[in-house]
């Protein structure tokens, strides 16, 4: 059985994961209209992944005797100056999500809720991968600089990786 404090904290994370899905969906839409099909596909996949993370939390809360809440979301940003800005915001957002997960782990330990602590370890590992991937992509973008040919190749590379289902190897 979840304590009220942990149930609230988990529901806050449900909102964060839902918001993440919306943010990445908005990024995908922006990239699509800019002709960046690879970036767009990558962001659509990221959006789907975040929704899956949200649903996993919803199921856990309900299975542990709580009530998962679906809350209102803030409209995400819809326009970006450059594709680099998109990935800088992706990285910043992933760091934010990692901090939120770490706070959840802290709460679960302080309340001696070891079932929740165990459940959250998947999210801890996932966030390590998400941050590393975003940082790796930013490093590639910084290598490209303002080279349009480099952008074209980057967009094609990221699209091929999504097709293979392994964006983390970019």
Residue 48, pLDDT above cutoff 60: yes
17 is in an annotated binding site: yes
CA distances from residue 61 to 6, 109, 121, 126 in whole angstroms, order as listed: 9, 17, 15, 19
130 is in an annotated binding site: no
pLDDT digits over 13-35, tens only?
Answer: 999 999 999 999 999 999 999 99
160 is in an annotated binding site: no
94 is in an annotated binding site: yes
Nearest to 17 by CA among 110, 127, 165, 144: 127
Give residue limits of the domains in the chain.
4-69+77-165
53 is in an annotated binding site: yes
What is 4-69+77-165's CATH number? 1.20.1260.10
pLDDT band, very low/low/confident/very high, at 75 (cuts 50, 70, 90)? very high
């Amino acid at each position: 059985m979840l304590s009220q404090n942990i149930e609230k904290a988990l529901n806050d994370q449900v909102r964060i994961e839902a918001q993440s899905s919306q943010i990445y969906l908005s990024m995908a839409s922006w990239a699509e209209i800019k002709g960046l099909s690879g970036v767009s596909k990558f962001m659509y996949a990221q959006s789907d992944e975040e929704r899956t993370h949200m649903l996993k939390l919803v199921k856990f809360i309900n299975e542990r005797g709580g009530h998962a809440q679906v809350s209102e979301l803030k409209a995400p940003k819809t326009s970006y100056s450059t594709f680099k800005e998109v990935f800088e915001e992706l990285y910043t957002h992933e760091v934010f999500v990692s901090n939120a997960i770490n706070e959840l782990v802290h709460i679960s330990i302080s309340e001696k809720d070891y079932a929740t602590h165990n459940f959250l370890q998947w999210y801890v590992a996932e966030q390590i991968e998400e941050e590393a991937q975003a940082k790796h992509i930013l490093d590639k973008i910084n290598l490209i600089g303002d080279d349009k040919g480099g952008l074209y190749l980057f967009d094609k590379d990221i699209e091929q990786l999504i097709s293979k289902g392994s964006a983390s190897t970019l």
